[in-house]
A and B are shown apart, each in its own frame.
Chain A
Amino acid sequence: MDVRLSPEQVTLRDAARQMVDRLCPQTVAELDDTERAGKLEAAVVASGWLELRTATDDGSPWATGVEVAVVAEELGRGLADTAFLGPTLAADLRRLAGAPPGSTAETIALGADLSEPAVALGGTLGPGAVALDAYEATSALVLLREGDEYAIGTIAVDGGTTSVDLTRPVASCSPGATVSPIEGLHHPLGPDDLARWRGLGLAVTCADLVGVMRGAVTIACDYARSRRQYGAAIGSFQAVQHLLADAYVATEGSASIALHAAWAVDALDGRDALVAASAAKAYCARAARSVCETAIQVHGGIGNTWECLAHVFLRRALLSSEVLGGVGANLARVLAAHGIGGGDGLR
Chain B
Amino acid sequence: MDFGDSPEELAFRLRLREWLGNNNPGLPPSSTSDEYWAGQAAWHQTLYAAGFFGLSWPKEAGGHGLPSVYEVILDEEIIAAGAPPRPSVGYLVQGLLRHGNEDVQRRFLPGLVSGRDRWCQGFSEPDAGSDLASLRTQAVREGSEYVVTGHKVWTSYSDAADWCLVLARTDPEVPKHRGISAFIVPMGQGAIEQRPIRMINGITREFGEVIFDGARVDASNMVGEPGEGWRLAMTVVSHEREPGELGYVARYGKLVKELVRAVKERPDEHGPESRRDLAWALVEAEMLRCHVSRRLSDRLDGVSHGPEGSVDKLLMTWVEQAVGHAALSIGGAAPTEGDDTWLKVYLYSRAQSVMGGTSQIQRNLIASRILELPIS
Interface residues of A (CB under 8 A from B): 1-6, 9, 66, 221, 224-225, 232-233, 235-238, 240-242, 244-246, 248-249, 252-257, 259-260, 263-264, 267, 276, 279, 282-283, 331-332, 334-335, 338-340, 342-343, 345-347
Contact = CB atoms under 8 A, between A and B. Distances in A.
Contacts of B73: 1
16 contacts: A3-B297, A4-B1, A240-B373, A241-B376, A242-B363, A245-B364, A252-B315, A254-B287, A257-B286, A257-B290, A264-B3, A279-B283, A279-B287, A331-B280, A334-B279, A334-B283
Given A2-B300, A3-B294, A253 B318 contact: yes
Contacts of A9: 1
B9 A1 contact: yes
B264 interface: yes
Contacts of B291: 252-253, 256-257
Nearest to A4: B297
B106 interface: no
Contacts, number: 167
B276 A331 contact: yes
B190 interface: no
B367 A241 contact: yes
Contacts of A2: 1-2, 69, 297, 300
B38 interface: no
B83 interface: no
Contacts of A1: 2-6, 9, 69, 72-73, 293, 297
A335 B330 CA distance: 14
Contact of B370 (A248, A260, A342): A248
- The prevalent SS among residues of B at the interface is helix
Interface residues of B, number: 51
Given A283-B283, A334-B283, A340-B260, A244 B1 contact: no
A283 B282 CA distance: 10
A224 B375 CA distance: 12
Contact of B376 (A225, A236, A249, A342): A236
Interface string B268-303: 000010011011101110110011011001101100
A213 to B, nearest CB: 14
A343 B2 CA distance: 31
B3 A236 contact: no
Given A2-B2, A282-B279, A343-B279, A253 B371 contact: no
Contacts of A6: 1
B366 interface: yes
A283 B293 CA distance: 17
Given A236-B376, A282-B279, A245 B1 contact: no
A253 B287 contact: yes
A339 to B, nearest CB: 6
A62 to B, nearest CB: 16
A263 B279 contact: no
Contacts of A245: 314, 362-364, 366-367, 370-371
A333 to B, nearest CB: 9
A158 B311 CA distance: 47
Question: Which 5 pairs of residues, A with B, have the shortest CB-CB distance?
Answer: A241-B367, A256-B291, A235-B373, A245-B363, A331-B279
Given A1-B2, A241-B373, A334-B283, A345 B272 contact: yes
Contacts of A279: 282-283, 286-287
B373 A221 contact: yes
B360 interface: yes
Contact of B367 (A4, A244, A339): A244
B374 interface: yes
* Centre residue among B4, B264, B278, B286 by max chain A CB count within 10 A: B286
